């Protein structure tokens, strides 16, 4: 991500009446490390449930690859833990795999490629990690291959997008793919707000969200002091999203050198740093249809808290 894109997002977000920054700004190498620690928390159900989905349904997923030569591409791959379950299954089933993980976090890609090289010493697996934005990465592949594609978009990455942004992301993705290509996309489903509260209020979330202030200090020369902010998450029934806020514990002025601008925070003013919209199966079906895909199959965990939905491109 360029510094000017980062700067524009920060300027836009901190100038809003209700200050709000997108969570993808948190993801440098350190941000990815903290996120990986979150995915290991017992209470953080999305990662646990999605890993279970891959373990339960790996054989069905592998069959999709056996039916035609398929290239595996992952957008926002992170640590690739779930994908490795699938890769192991594909190798066992004798499938040749060309895997391209794409992530803006350089540390995440480096770590993933090293782990794959250590864990899978076989010529059946060919890995090309790309440190890039989703669509830049995808464009470089789209132009180079005529194999059918299986794009993975796992975790809660779509849940984190504003609803209109999610729709335009999926429409753009549809345009980048060919008829009959596949998209396997993760959705955290609506469930008890009590459970959502437990999932999102571990001290690690505070560390993760406060890291955004480190990022703004580092990239734009700001003077945020992390000890003057506290973080909390709640489920908001009006937006149907879990929302995370950093609250300013005092009245303070933040100067951002690169923007040559001051931003005022009132005592206990909130800065929204994350959101995770919760979906129903009906809303997922509507979204697939509106963005040009057909649902081939839904893969659930045993509690039906999460779904990985396999979509096929219709052109
Ligand atoms: C919520 S994490 C999910 C990671 C992984 N898919 C999982 O299921 O655990 C989102 C990932 O997307 C990456 N990411 C965010 N915005 C991106 C962008 N515009 N282009 C590429 N990667 C991006 C982040 O660095 C991070 O690794």
Residue 150 inside a domain? The answer is yes
* Residue 112 token pair: 């993933």
**From 78, 105, 185, mutation site for ligand 1 pocket: most ligand atoms within 8 A of C-beta:** 78
Q: What is the DSSP letter of 19?
A: -
Residue 29 inside a domain? The answer is yes
> Measured in angstroms, how far is the CA atom of residue 283 from the centroid of ligand 1?
23
Task: Determine whether the shortest distance from the Cβ of 39 to ligand 1 is under 6 A.
Answer: yes
249 and 306, same structural domain? Answer: no
Q: Tell me: the pLDDT tens digits for 253-293?
A: 999 999 999 999 999 999 999 999 999 999 999 999 999 99
175 and 101, same structural domain? Answer: yes
Which structural domain, as residue segments, surrounds residue 232? Answer: 3-33+196-277
157 and 73, same structural domain? Answer: yes
Which of ligand 1's atoms lies nearest the C-alpha of 36? 9
Residue 40 inside a domain? The answer is no
Q: How far apart are CA 126 and CA 215, in angstroms?
A: 34
Residue 167 inside a domain? The answer is yes
> Measured in angstroms, how far is the CA atom of residue 153 from the centroid of ligand 1?
9
Q: Is the pLDDT of residue 104 over 70?
A: yes
Residue 263 inside a domain? The answer is yes
Task: Determine whether the shortest distance from the Cβ of 184 to ligand 1 is under 6 A.
Answer: no
169 and 106, same structural domain? Answer: yes
Residue 39 inside a domain? The answer is no
160 and 19, same structural domain? Answer: no
Which residue has the least CA distance to atom 7 on ligand 1? Answer: 155
Which residue has the least CA distance to atom 13 on ligand 1? Answer: 76
Q: Is the pLDDT of residue 143 over 90?
A: no
Question: Is-contact 198 28, C-beta < 8 A?
Answer: no
Contacts of 140 (CB under 8 A, 6+ apart): 130, 132
Residue 38 inside a domain? The answer is no
The CATH number of the domain holding residue 90 is 3.40.50.150
148 and 24, same structural domain? Answer: no
Mean pLDDT of 46-67: 95
86: Cα separation from own chain's centroid:
18
270 and 283, same structural domain? Answer: no
162 and 97, same structural domain? Answer: yes
207 and 158, same structural domain? Answer: no
* Residue 201 token pair: 């209020």
151 and 70, same structural domain? Answer: yes
Which residue has the least CA distance to atom 16 on ligand 1? Answer: 24
Report the number of distinct structural domains present in the chain: 2
Q: Tell me: the pLDDT tens digits for 156-185?
A: 999 999 999 999 999 999 999 999 999 999
Task: Determine whether the shortest distance from the Cβ of 248 to ligand 1 is under 6 A.
Answer: no
Residue 92 inside a domain? The answer is yes
203 and 114, same structural domain? Answer: no
Is the pTM for the entire model greater than 0.85? yes
- Average model confidence (pLDDT) across the chain: 95
């Amino acid at each position: 991500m360029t510094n000017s894109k980062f700067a524009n997002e920060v300027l836009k977000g901190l100038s809003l009446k209700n200050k709000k920054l997108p969570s993808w700004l948190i993801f440098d190498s350190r941000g990815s490390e903290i996120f990986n620690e979150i995915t290991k928390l017992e209470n953080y159900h999305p990662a646990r449930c999605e890993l279970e989905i891959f373990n339960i349904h790996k054989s069905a997923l592998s069959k999709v690859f056996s039916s035609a030569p398929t290239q595996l591409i992952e957008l926002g791959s992170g640590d690739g833990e779930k994908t490795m379950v699938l890769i192991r299954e594909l190798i066992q089933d004798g499938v040749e795999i060309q895997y391209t993980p794409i992530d803006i976090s350089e540390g995440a890609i480096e770590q993933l490629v090293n782990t794959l090289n250590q864990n899978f010493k076989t010529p059946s697996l060919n890995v090309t990690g790309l440190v890039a934005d989703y669509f830049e990465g995808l464009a470089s592949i789209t132009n180079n291959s005529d194999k059918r594609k299986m794009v993975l978009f796992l975790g809660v990455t779509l849940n984190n997008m504003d609803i209109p942004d999610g729709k335009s992301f999926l429409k753009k993705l549809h345009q980048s793919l060919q008829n009959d290509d596949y998209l396997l996309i993760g959705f955290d489903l609506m469930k008890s707000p009590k459970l959502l509260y437990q999932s999102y209020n571990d001290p690690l979330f505070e560390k993760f969200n406060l890291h955004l202030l480190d990022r703004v200090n580092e990239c734009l020369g700001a003077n945020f002091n992390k000890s003057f902010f506290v973080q909390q998450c709640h489920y908001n029934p009006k937006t149907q999203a879990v929302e995370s806020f950093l609250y300013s514990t005092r009245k303070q002025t933040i100067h951002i050198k690169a923007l040559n601008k001051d931003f005022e925070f009132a005592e206990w003013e909130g800065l929204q740093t994350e959101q995770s919209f919760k979906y129903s199966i009906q809303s997922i079906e509507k979204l697939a249809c509106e963005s040009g895909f057909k649902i081939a199959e839904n893969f659930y965990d045993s509690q039906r808290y999460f779904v990985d939905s396999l979509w096929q491109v219709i052109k």
